[in-house]
Chains A and B, each alone.
Chain A
Amino acid sequence: GAVVSQHPSRVICKSGTSVKIECRSLDFQATTMFWYRQFPKQSLMLMATSNEGSKATYEQGVEKDKFLINHASLTLSTLTVTSAHPEDSSFYICSAGQGARSPLHFGNGTRLTVT
């Protein structure tokens, strides 16, 4: 079945540094991928829609200059958290779908801890 791979699964970084998270669709092409964030004991909140070959679309309240998204190919989207702060510590998950009537597939998530 369709698989979405996310890397790394866990990262710890110091405040002020940048962290890149990769999301890959392993056996299908995805023109669109989605990035979600999940704080402890809360549900997933959509951050942005990643569009292959064009700019990402950000949800209200998400800083596009802080969360840089690049979707350079049909199988890879990256999320870079720039100048990370402790309040950015969260679980980041990406998703991708194969078509209009197919379920979305999620990566295993990345646990980011900023110290």
Chain B
Amino acid sequence: KQEVTQIPAALSVPEGENLVLNCSFTDSAIYNLQWFRQDPGKGLTSLLLIQSSQREQTSGRLNASLDKSSGRSTLYIAASQPGDSATYLCAVTHGSSNTGKLIFGQGTTLQVKP
């Protein structure tokens, strides 16, 4: 059974710091991995999507890496800002095709202090 774990559960950093969020999954047979942002009481915003054949994706200050063989992904946030404060969720599509069914980690709640 595929399980997704995110560490740490919570993180607080001062503004301007670079930071890394970690995601691990137990079964390397994934179709893709996606990072989302969730603000309190809100839905999810897709940040980055990495296909199983890719190693990383970048968007602005965000960079996500994927090491499928070791079952790990990281989300790197450069020069963090207070507006980055949110919960970040990692999710995988398990299997060899895009079923659209996502298995989520518990999330990392980030607080960036001004």
Contact = CB atoms under 8 A, between A and B. Distances in A.
A103 B106 contact: no
B98 A43 contact: no
B101 A6 contact: no
B101 A101 contact: no
Contacts of B107: 43
Interface string B85-114: 000010100000111111111110000000
A34 B43 contact: no
A43 B106 CA distance: 5
A103 to B, nearest CB: 4
B60 interface: no
Contacts of B97: 100
Interface size class of A (residues with CB under 8 A): 20 to 34
B49 interface: yes
B44 interface: yes
A108 B42 contact: yes
Contacts of A101: 51, 98
B41 interface: yes
Contacts of A93: 43-44
A44 interface: yes
A101 B34 CA distance: 11
A95 to B, nearest CB: 8
21 contacts: A6-B43, A32-B100, A43-B89, A44-B91, A46-B102, A49-B100, A91-B41, A95-B102, A100-B97, A100-B98, A101-B51, A103-B34, A104-B34, A104-B46, A106-B44, A106-B45, A106-B46, A107-B43, A108-B42, A108-B43, A111-B41
Interface of A: 6, 32, 34, 42-46, 49, 91, 93, 95, 97, 100-109, 111
Interface of B: 34, 36, 41-46, 49, 51, 89, 91, 97-107
